[in-house]
Each structure stands twice: as structure tokens, then as C-alpha cells.
């Protein structure tokens, strides 16, 4: 299997570039949940939106948090950005999402095979496991690798009209995030609730 992985034809992309391409496609106040570390640093760097939520801990919970938002607001499209190391912490969440089938949820996995932020140590899955195969095996049939940037954008467009949850995996390089999220959890949560129309500012 490792020989297959090394031979796969997916292009190695860049997290900030891919995140920026996603944000550029959002025209309907879609919610975006950014997993811990570089994933939400690049979401922040791509330009803050009131519908963005940035995690500062609870590694692995970007998809469950996004699932909660999707169940609360079924008419709003919800995107979740998660790193491969984070996803490995909570693989069971894929089956939960597959069982509930929220059609407004799109999961994006940024896969560099390393814990970049802690010193670029390889994850246990690097070289042996395939994120998309895991997702399909967990019941998420609508899961695919993005071959390159244009393919990523096409997959995002497909996800926006899909009748079931979608997972897009992106091979990325080992670069750190471009920005640093302001670590103010109460303000992050409050602004997000304003952005989702749940609350008005004081």
C-alpha cells in the first residue's frame, strides 16, 4: 500500500492557497470551522469573516463542531477544515456524520502527513493510511482526493449542491500557517453567533 501512496498522482498544494480558494467561493454566508493550529491560522490569514469559527484546542473536534452547526442550521452550508493529525484523533466522527447524512456539511482534510506545528514529526498514518479510503470505509461515499487546485475548486462546487455530506482531501506541503489567529475565545464565539444570525451585538 505504501508504494501506491508514494505513486499517487495528487499534486502537493499549499494550505493557505487552498483555503483562500475556498473562501473566494463562499457567497452565501457559509459557516467555516477551522481546526486547531495551522488550519485555522490559514483560515484567519485568508481574511476574517463573521461566519468563521477558530478552535484553540480540543484537537480533532472541527468535524463534530461543524456537524452541530449543520444540524442547527440545515439551510446554511457548513465547511470544516481539519488537519490529518487532528482527524486521526477522532476517526469515529466520520461514521457519526455518515449515519446522520447532513447534506449541508463539507469536510476538508489538509494532509501533510506531519504534525507541522510541533516540529514536523510524521503522523502514525503517514506512508501507510489513506484518508479518503478511511472516509469511504466509514460510510462517507462522497469522498475524494483533490488532484490539483482546479480539481479542488470543482469538488467544492460539487459539494455545494450535493445531497449528502462531502469530504475533500488535499495533499499539502510542510509550510506553517501564514497568520496567527487572535486567541480570544469568547469574542470568537460571540462573533460567530452574530455571523450565523443567532444573536445581535449588544
Partner 1 sequence: MAIAEQQTSPQATQAAGERSWHGIILHTLKRNEISLVPYVPDRVLTPLIRNLHADPFFTTFATAREEEAVGIVSGAWMGGRRGAVLMQTSGFATLANVLASLAVPYQIPLIMFVSERGTLGEFNYGQSLVCRTMRPVLDSLALEHHTITRLDELEFITDRSIKQAVTTQAPVALILNPLLTGGKVFDK
Q: Which residues is 107 bridged to in the sheet?
A: 80, 167
Give the one residue of 10, 14, 95, 153 binding partner 1; rule: CB under 8 A: 95
With binding defined as CB under 8 A, does residue 14 bind partner 1? no
Q: Which three cell numbers stand for residue 132?
A: 479518503
The nearest distance, CB 168 to partner 1, in angstroms, is 20
Please give the angle made by the CA atoms of 130, 135 and 139, to the nearest 5 degrees. 145
Select from 11-19, 140-148, 170-178, 180-188 the region that touches partner 1 (CB under 8 A).
180-188
Q: Which three cell numbers stand for residue 109?
A: 482534510
Select from 1-9, 87-95, 117-125, 148-156 the region that touches partner 1 (CB under 8 A).
87-95
With binding defined as CB under 8 A, does residue 107 bind partner 1? no
The nearest distance, CB 202 to partner 1, in angstroms, is 14
With binding defined as CB under 8 A, does residue 7 bind partner 1? no
The nearest distance, CB 22 to partner 1, in angstroms, is 19
Using the minimum distance from each CB to partner 1, give the nearer residue, 90 or 153. 90
Helix axes 38-45, 15-24, angle to 10 degrees: 50
Alpha helices in 46-173 (DSSP H): 62-72, 84-88, 92-100, 131-137, 149-160
Span 27-86, contacts to partner 1 by CB under 8 A: 31, 33, 53, 55-61, 63-73, 76
The nearest distance, CB 88 to partner 1, in angstroms, is 13
The nearest distance, CB 20 to partner 1, in angstroms, is 24
Read out DSSP for 64-83?
Answer: HHHHHHHHH-TTS-EEEEEE
Nearest CA-CA partner of 172 in 16, 2, 4 = 16
Using the minimum distance from each CB to partner 1, give the nearer residue, 51 or 123. 51
Is the C-alpha dihedral spanning 62, 65, 71, 74 positive or negative?
A: negative
With binding defined as CB under 8 A, does residue 144 bind partner 1? no
To the nearest 10°, report the CA torsion of 41, 30, 92, 165: -140
List residues binding partner 1 (CB under 8 A).
31, 33, 53, 55-61, 63-73, 76, 90-93, 95-96, 99-100, 185-186, 188-189, 192-193, 196-198
Amino acid at each position: 500500500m505504501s508504494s501506491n501512496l508514494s505513486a499517487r498522482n495528487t499534486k502537493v498544494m499549499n494550505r493557505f492557497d487552498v483555503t483562500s480558494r475556498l473562501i473566494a467561493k463562499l457567497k452565501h454566508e457559509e459557516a467555516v470551522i477551522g481546526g486547531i493550529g495551522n488550519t485555522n491560522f490559514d483560515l484567519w490569514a485568508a481574511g476574517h469573516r463573521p461566519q468563521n469559527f477558530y478552535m484553540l484546542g480540543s484537537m480533532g473536534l472541527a468535524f463534530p463542531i461543524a456537524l452541530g452547526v449543520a444540524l442547527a442550521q440545515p439551510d446554511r452550508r457548513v465547511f470544516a477544515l481539519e488537519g490529518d493529525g487532528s482527524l486521526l484523533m477522532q476517526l469515529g466522527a466520520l461514521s457519526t456524520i455518515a449515519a446522520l447524512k447532513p447534506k449541508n456539511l463539507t469536510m476538508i482534510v489538509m494532509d501533510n502527513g506531519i504534525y507541522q506545528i510541533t516540529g514536523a514529526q510524521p503522523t502514525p498514518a503517514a506512508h501507510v493510511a489513506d484518508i479518503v479510503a478511511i472516509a469511504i470505509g466509514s460510510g462517507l461515499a462522497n469522498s475524494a482526493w483533490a488532484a490539483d487546485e482546479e480539481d479542488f475548486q470543482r469538488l467544492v462546487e460539487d459539494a455545494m449542491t450535493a445531497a449528502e455530506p462531502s469530504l475533500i482531501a488535499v495533499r499539502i506541503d510542510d509550510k506553517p500557517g501564514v497568520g496567527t489567529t487572535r486567541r480570544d475565545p469568547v469574542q470568537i464565539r460571540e462573533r460567530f453567533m452574530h455571523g450565523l444570525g443567532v444573536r445581535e451585538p449588544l
